[in-house]
Amino acid sequence: MIIDSHFHPLSMAKRGITELPEDLIGIAVATEPGETERMTVMLPQDRRIFISAGAGPWVLNEELFISPEDEIEKIRKEIAEYPADAIGECGIDNHWKYGTPELQMELFLREADLAAELDLPLIIHSRDADNEIAEALSSGHFRANAVMHCFSSGPDMARFALDKGLFISFSGNITYKGNEAIRQAAMIVPDDRILVETDAPYLAPIPYRGRPNRPEYTEATLEMLASLRHQDKNELKSLVADNLHAFLKRDESIRKLRSTSEN
């Protein structure tokens, strides 16, 4: 069993990675409208691969961008034809200058509202944006399950997110030498709130750093987490699998495969 709560198959395909593990359980994540349809068409329909729909802050810089409201309408129409299991990724990115801070926040909050309306979990992107994410999480827009994906902050932000009821997902960057704050955060996340991901094809963990990331590499991230948390790796993997289904509001004991449920 391979657990990967966040990977990008369309970007992986551009790096030559087109085959996914047969025992993969995870979420294929959209970054902009149109990707949900493309992923639904390309991914195996008889496996436990879930699919998101969303728009990250980078869409604010695209030539076709009109308004946050327009992006939400695109997502809504896409979901009507290609049902999604989650909304996102979406959020705030202060590392790259996407649009304006006001537009980033408006798009983020509108997607949070859409997730609450559709009762779908929300996948949050945060880069150099702890203050803005904390402001958003305190705004009352977050009424559905949510996860801080590819967590890159320290224990204080982890505690804040946990107090708001969020899941926290760790990726390969937890293995990088300079990321002690992330490792400190990983040690305080409760067993029922932790997830693992690749963000493939990005952020491959050590010893694979420099290569395109792939779902199988979550094993290295799990090894780091198990060591930090003084847990057995296989037991931690089992917990993470349970948490993924809890995040998605799925009961693994009764869940039918996508191909069955859609027929």
For 121-171, the pLDDT digits (tens) are: 999 999 999 999 999 999 989 988 999 999 999 999 999 999 999 999 999
For 1-11, the pLDDT digits (tens) are: 999 999 999 99
> Taking a C-beta distance cutoff of 8 angstroms, is the pair 130, 181 a contact?
no
The model's confidence at residue 46, banded by pLDDT at 50, 70 and 90, is confident
Q: Where are the beta strands (DSSP E) in the chain?
A: 2-7, 24-28, 49-53, 86-93, 122-127, 146-148, 167-170, 194-196
Q: Token pair for residue 185?
A: 């955060």
For 227-251, the pLDDT digits (tens) are: 999 999 999 999 999 999 999 998 6
The model's confidence at residue 261, banded by pLDDT at 50, 70 and 90, is very low
Judged by DSSP in three states, 247 sits in helix
- Average pLDDT of the residues in 74-99: 97
| Percent of residues, the chain, with pLDDT higher than 90 | 90
Largest Cα–Cα separation, the chain: 49
| Percent of residues, the chain, with pLDDT higher than 70 | 95
pLDDT of residue 251: 66
The model's confidence at residue 29, banded by pLDDT at 50, 70 and 90, is very high
Residues listed for the chain: 263
Task: Give me the residue spans of the domains in the chain.
Answer: 2-261
Q: Token pair for residue 156?
A: 């204080």
For 54-73, the pLDDT digits (tens) are: 999 999 999 989 999 999 99
Q: What is the 3-state secondary structure (H, E, C) of 61-107?
A: HCCCCCCHHHHHHHHHHHHHHCCCCEEEEEEEECCCCCCCHHHHHHH
In the CATH scheme, what is the code of domain 2-261?
A: 3.20.20.140
pLDDT of residue 45: 82
Alpha-helical runs (H) found in 177-232: 180-186, 218-229
Read off φ and ψ for residue 131, nearest 5 degrees: -65, -45
Give whole-number Cα distances, 149 to 37, 169, 209, 229, 260, in Å: 22, 5, 19, 19, 29
C-alpha–C-alpha distance, residues 210 and 137, integer Å: 34
pLDDT of residue 50: 97
- Average pLDDT of the residues in 192-218: 97
pLDDT at 260 over 80: no
